[in-house]
């Protein structure tokens, strides 16, 4: 046997042993024998670098060094999940989605909600091509080299896998592995890690992948995406399991609210005995067609929800209350606590949310308060110990003036929050707005961090975001920590930001309630800042995801002369205040909203949606009175057909669709 043949044989054997161990739960050889084969492969590959394979089993050992993790845009957005905490809330969710669906929903999947780091992996021709962290949901960091070191992540697949697809999972650190890591750190005189979740997440961003390989990480997979033809979530994950992915056996297919609650209760009781941390259960509508009908809100899928178990609670002393000013002027009261350990982290502060919450809790300085982590993340105060109270004279009352600029606070009718009225000159607001503007989700200006913005403001060099484009090299060089290279990078980043698209600029303005998704909707609909500024309430409400609060916020922003002047300054400096013109292949679908449903003979659903948009149309997520027609393929669900017929919306076949083109 030649060396080349032996290398290929070893790779094939080791992939087979990994598949057997992680998918079929079979031990075909001992750990010692496996390690010996792996060492042999590493030795042969070192002698023949020309036979490098990015998905060789030897990649499990790591060794590559990544100094800067590349930012990658996800093929499909990674949404977060809405949470529910009771049987009543779960029942309400079920009623809501059945109303939108237009028919009862009788098939769900239930999965454990693993407490780790979310990851999206792309496979091409059965090989792992890319692994990207969740990031902000739209884009994340490429951590492929580190993920390849995780033993149960398949580098090469078996079976009838699609040519190209994405799969999502949760990378976790089992409790035994976490404890072993901490034992080594303590023995070496180092601080122990706080909790498995943060340690798992941090492991993905280690610069040396061989360090990641030393951590006993695992990945549990929970969703496929891409141009796929499966009719149910259960079917897609069953397929994924057969290709080599670790899909937990705890996943079950259920059909009623009672069964969902039984699953939640059963795993709630077993939770403490699990070898890894979970913080709840994820419930998903099983039918892919019903998922498409339900669609998404701006932040989360309507067809999935997380049931969170009751959080751990501890008692500690309330020492003081401070008030934070946000970039929109919102005032958030924060409780400063005697440090206490909670769910693996040291908690020193907890949000008190707003004036109503302070009044409801009736707290005093010196109280011993009960603290828990809302959704296992953000600490919050649940109440106080009546036997250990502070003095009556130290009862906490909400402030009336801004802690930063002393301007009076104002509470908008219908909102819980108080706001500083000094929008133009309140230092914290101005700095916060500029920090938001330069951030990665907005203008993504390299070379300017939060501290630099604060420094520029306090030195009198910037008073609003337009001032960033007036900065000169000679102004910056005398500043602390501003060497020539830093200044050049900062100015280059400012210049490069002029190429950012209109929706990024609009989001970067920091208008209250205008997040990333809303900014995209507005720019797509109106096309320019001028049309947006001239729009009335009726125009705005006609846009998807735009409600009364956003309308009021936009009008308030554009009525302020300082804001208008700043926008004109940004225009003068060359920022994009118009959406790029989309050149359509034709205008045959202009003004039409088209819903695509079913399985098609010649094109995939994603390809058909792209054709609709390329020819001037808009793709609808669900059938409504605004739908122009439904492009209906085979296996279109009866509930969708019934809804289309009820609303007298035409069903167009694939062949008729091509004739229209």
Residue 320 pLDDT > 50: yes
Q: What's 403's DSSP letter?
A: T
Q: Which of 67, 95, 113, 643 is catalytic?
A: 113
281 touches 84 (CB < 8 A): no
User: Residue 634: beta bridge partners?
Assistant: 599
| Res. 639 pLDDT band, cuts 50 70 90 | confident
Percent share of the chain, pLDDT over 70: 94
Residue 561 to residue 29: CA distance in whole angstroms: 75
The per-residue pLDDT for range 59-79, each reduced to its tens digit, is 665 555 565 788 888 888 898
Question: Whole-prediction pTM value?
Answer: 0.59
308-319 burial: b if 16+ Cβ within 10 Å, else e: bbebeebebbbe
What is the percent of the chain with per-residue pLDDT over 90, rounded to a whole number? 47
| Domains of the chain, each with CATH number or no CATH | 3-61 (1.10.287.610), 83-308 (3.30.470.30), 313-411 (2.40.50.140), 427-499 (1.10.150.20), 502-572 (1.10.150.20), 593-660 (3.40.50.10190)
Q: Which helix (H) or strand (E) holds 639?
A: helix 638-646
Do 274 and 124 meet the contact criterion of CB atoms below 8 Å apart?
A: no
Find the mean pLDDT for residues 563-583.
90
DSSP-derived 3-state class of residue 27: coil
CB 593 within 8 A of CB 626: yes
Asked if residue 152 lies in contact with residue 216, where contact means CB atoms within 8 angstroms, the answer is: no
Q: What is the mean pLDDT of residues 626-654?
A: 85
Q: Sign of the CA dihedral 373, 374, 379, 381?
A: negative
Strand residue runs (E) in 155-308:
164-172, 218-225, 252-254, 278-285, 304-308
pLDDT at 376 over 50: no
Average pLDDT, integer, range 453-475: 93
Identify whether 205 is a catalytic site residue.
Answer: no
Does the pLDDT of residue 118 top 80, yes or no? Answer: yes
pLDDT tens across 288-302, in order? 999 989 988 877 899
Per-residue pLDDT tens over the stretch 124-138: 999 999 999 998 788
Q: Is the pLDDT of residue 542 over 50?
A: yes
* CA separation for the pair 142, 130 (Å, rounded): 7
Exposed, middle or buried, 378 (CB in 10 Å: 0-12/13-18/19+)?
Answer: exposed
Angle at 504 between CA 501 and CA 510, to 5 degrees: 150
CB 62 within 8 A of CB 54: no
Give mean pLDDT, residues 473-485.
89
Contact 244, 238 (CB under 8 A): no
């Amino acid at each position: 046997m030649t060396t080349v043949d032996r290398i290929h044989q070893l790779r094939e054997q080791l992939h087979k042993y990994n598949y057997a161990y992680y998918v079929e739960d079979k031990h075909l050889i001992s750990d010692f024998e496996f390690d010996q084969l792996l060492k042999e492969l590493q030795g042969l590959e070192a002698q023949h670098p020309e036979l490098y394979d990015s998905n060789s089993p030897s990649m499990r050992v790591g060794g590559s060094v990544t100094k800067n993790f590349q930012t990658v845009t996800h093929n499909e957005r990674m949404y977060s999940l809405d949470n529910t905490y009771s049987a009543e809330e779960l029942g309400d969710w079920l009623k809501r989605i059945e109303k939108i669906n237009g028919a009862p929903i009788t098939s769900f999947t239930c999965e454990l909600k693993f407490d780790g780091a979310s990851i999206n992996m792309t496979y091409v021709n059965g090989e792992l091509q890319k692994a990207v962290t969740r990031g902000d949901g739209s884009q994340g960091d490429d951590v492929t080299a580190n993920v390849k070191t995780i033993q149960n992540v398949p580098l090469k697949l078996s079976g009838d896998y699609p040519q190209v697809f994405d799969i999502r999972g949760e990378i976790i650190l089992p409790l035994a592995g976490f404890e072993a890591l901490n034992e080594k750190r303590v023995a070496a005189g180092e601080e122990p890690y706080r909790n498995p979740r943060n340690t798992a997440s941090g492991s993905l961003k280690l610069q040396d992948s061989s360090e990641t390989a030393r951590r006993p990480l695992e990945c549990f997979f929970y969703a496929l995406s891409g141009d796929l033809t499966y009719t149910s979530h259960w079917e897609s994950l069953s397929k994924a399991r057969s290709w080599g992915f670790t899909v937990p056996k705890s996943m079950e297919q259920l059909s009623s609210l009672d069964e969902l609650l039984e699953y939640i209760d059963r795993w709630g009781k077993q939770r403490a005995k699990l070898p890894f941390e979970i913080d709840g259960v994820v419930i998903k509508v099983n039918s892919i067609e019903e998922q498409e009908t339900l669609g998404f809100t701006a932040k989360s899928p309507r067809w999935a929800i997380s049931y969170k178990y009751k959080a751990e609670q501890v008692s500690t002393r309330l020492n003081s209350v401070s008030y934070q000013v946000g970039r929109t002027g919102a005032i958030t009261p924060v409780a400063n606590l005697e440090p206490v350990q909670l769910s693996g982290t040291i908690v020193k502060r907890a949000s008190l949310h707003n004036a109503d919450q302070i009044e409801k809790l009736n707290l005093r300085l010196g109280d011993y308060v009960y603290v828990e982590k809302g959704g296992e993340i953000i600490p919050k105060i649940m109440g106080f110990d009546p036997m250990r109270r502070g003095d009556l004279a130290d009862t906490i009352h909400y402030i009336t003036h801004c802690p930063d600029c002393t301007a009076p606070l104002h509470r908008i009718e219908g909102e819980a929050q108080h706001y500083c009225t000094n929008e133009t000159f309140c230092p914290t607001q101005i700095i916060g707005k500029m920090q938001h503007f330069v951030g990665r989700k907005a203008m993504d200006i390299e070379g300017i961090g939060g501290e630099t913005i604060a420094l520029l403001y306090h030195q009198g060099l910037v008073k609003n975001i337009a001032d960033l484009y007036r900065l000169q090299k000679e102004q910056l060089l005398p500043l602390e920590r501003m060497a020539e290279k830093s200044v050049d990078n900062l100015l280059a980043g400012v210049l490069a930001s002029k190429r950012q698209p209109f929706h990024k600029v609009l989001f970067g303005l920091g208008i209250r309630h205008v997040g990333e998704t809303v900014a995209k909707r507005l720019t797509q609909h109106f096309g320019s800042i001028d049309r947006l500024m001239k729009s009335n309430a009726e125009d705005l409400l006609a846009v998807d995801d735009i409600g009364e609060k956003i309308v009021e916020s936009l009008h308030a922003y554009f009525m302020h002369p300082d804001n208008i002047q700043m926008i004109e300054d940004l225009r003068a400096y060359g920022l994009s205040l118009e959406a790029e013109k989309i050149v359509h292949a034709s205008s045959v679908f202009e003004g039409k909203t088209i819903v695509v449903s079913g399985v098609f003979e010649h094109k995939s659903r994603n390809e058909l949606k792209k054709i609709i948009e390329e020819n001037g149309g808009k793709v609808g997520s669900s059938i409504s009175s605004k739908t122009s027609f439904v492009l209906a393929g085979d296996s279109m669900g009866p509930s969708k057909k019934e809804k289309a017929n009820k609303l007298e919306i035409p069903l167009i076949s694939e062949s008729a669709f091509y004739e229209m083109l």
